[in-house]
Amino acid sequence: MPLLRSTSNLARLSRSLFPLGRQCRLNSTTASPPPADGHLPSVASSELLSTKRDTSLRTPGITWADDDVNAPPRIALGGRETRKMNTYQAIRDAMSIALSKDESAVVFGEDVAFGGVFRCTMGLAEEFGRERVFNTPLTEQGIAGFGIGLALMGHTAIAEIQFADYIFPAFDQIVNEAAKIRYRSGGSYNAGGLTIRTPTMSVGHGGLYHSQSPEGFFMGASGLKIVIPRSPIQAKGLLLGSIRDPNPVIFMEPKILYRSAVEQVPIDDFELPLGKAEVLRSGSDLTLLTWGTPVYHCETALHLLETPSPELDSIVPRSLRSSKVELIDLRTVLPWDIETVMESVNRTGRLVIVHEAGMTAGVGAEISAEIQKRCFLKLNAPVRRVTGWDGRPSIPVALQYEKFHIPDAIRILDAIMETLTY
């Protein structure tokens, strides 16, 4: 069966999608130009975003801070309000709530008093004072160490590492101190009050110091949690959950979603559960697992599978177009939700994992190994990984080639078709 891995098919597809020179000029007078955002779903038009108040207030797993935990779940949501927010606004809203409800909470990092490079802390210093929202020197190791000290003294420390690419100087403090202090002290001390926020993943032109996805480096650090949200509602609820979790958390924010993802976000104080994946789309033929920005690339790939564009019509077999693919957002990378993923794979018999970081020793490698062990007799095909090409997350090429490294909808579609036809 012809798949995109075929050289001839790839060449034919490339010529169809990206005509050059004279061919492009001749066609320009006979064909209508595409819309500005193309024919495929984009982040802005994603069906995975909650753009209505009712769907926002019924986000799966949401818990309201003002609800009595012993009372039955509230059915009527008439008193709840939402506001249109992008991701950085939702993150700012979460920190504002944390600062207003916890007098021991402080926010600090490089340039955070000025609003931060992505504006996530804009206005917080003016609202809560520069004793609680303040700048630090340019020292990631110092930021992490200072946060650990605050947490050990009972404070709530919300630290910002300006880019995830810069987190490596703080690696020793995070892995050898924050993650281990509870065990090291026999439970007498802990750094559970520490949350480290950091922008992650690519924007398409960040190069080797502004587009890395380093979550895999922390997978062996027992005692840490790693959370990566996909949208404004998820960012607010998961960040508040991270700040209040009794363990140190690295909260990685996909930077391209700061402004491109927009939802109606509840203005009240709420949390979403850490360590729990969310099934975004049910299916029975294949499980598609991802987190962060690639969630939307996966959505586009599923759209291409069901209704391929004219250029792909001869390449996507008609027998696969009705396939039911289950899409899962992992959300918490460490500890990851083994039960949800295993239950899904036992039903579908197939698993494709998508992430931006490189393949070797990435998060997908750990998930793949565990699923191969636990679901071996149920698998109808090998677990497939679609990742950045090996060499990432360090992006060892010029930034002009960054998009070539990122798993896009075509590569994901190819993996889905290959796995379905194995």
Q: Using alpha carbons, select from 303, 299, 409, 312 the residue that is nearest to residue 2.
A: 312
Sign of the Cα torsion 56, 60, 63, 69 reads positive
Amino acid, single-letter form, for residue 199: P
**CA distance linking residue 213 with residue 168, whole number of Å:** 12
The question of whether 355 is a catalytic residue gets the answer: no
Residue 190 sits at the vertex; the CA angle it makes with 185 and 191, to the nearest 5 degrees, is 140
Catalytic residue among 160, 210, 271, 355: 210
Hey, is 159 helix, strand or coil?
strand
Q: For the chain, how are helix, strand and coil distributed in percent, rounded to 5?
A: 40, 20, 45
Q: Judge if the upstream peptide bond of residue 335 is cis by omega within 30 degrees of 0.
A: yes
The question of whether 210 is a catalytic residue gets the answer: yes
**Long-range CB contacts (< 8 A, 24+ apart) of 315-319?**
315/2, 315/3, 315/4, 315/9, 315/13, 316/413, 316/417, 317/1, 317/2, 317/417, 317/421
Compute CA distances 276 → 238, 395, 408, whole Å.
11, 30, 25
Hey, is 35 helix, strand or coil?
coil
Q: Using alpha carbons, select from 215, 390, 202, 383 the residue that is nearest to residue 289.
A: 383
**CA distance linking residue 405 with residue 201, whole number of Å:** 12
Catalytic residue among 110, 140, 271, 299: 140
Bridge partners (DSSP) of residue 197 are 160, 251
**CA distance linking residue 210 with residue 201, whole number of Å:** 8
Beta-carbon contacts of 84 under 8 Å, excluding residues fewer than 6 positions away, are 262, 263, 264, 265
Hey, is 98 helix, strand or coil?
helix
Total Cβ atoms within 10 A of residue 275: 17
Q: Using alpha carbons, select from 329, 332, 293 the residue that is nearest to residue 215.
A: 332
Catalytic residue list: 140, 210
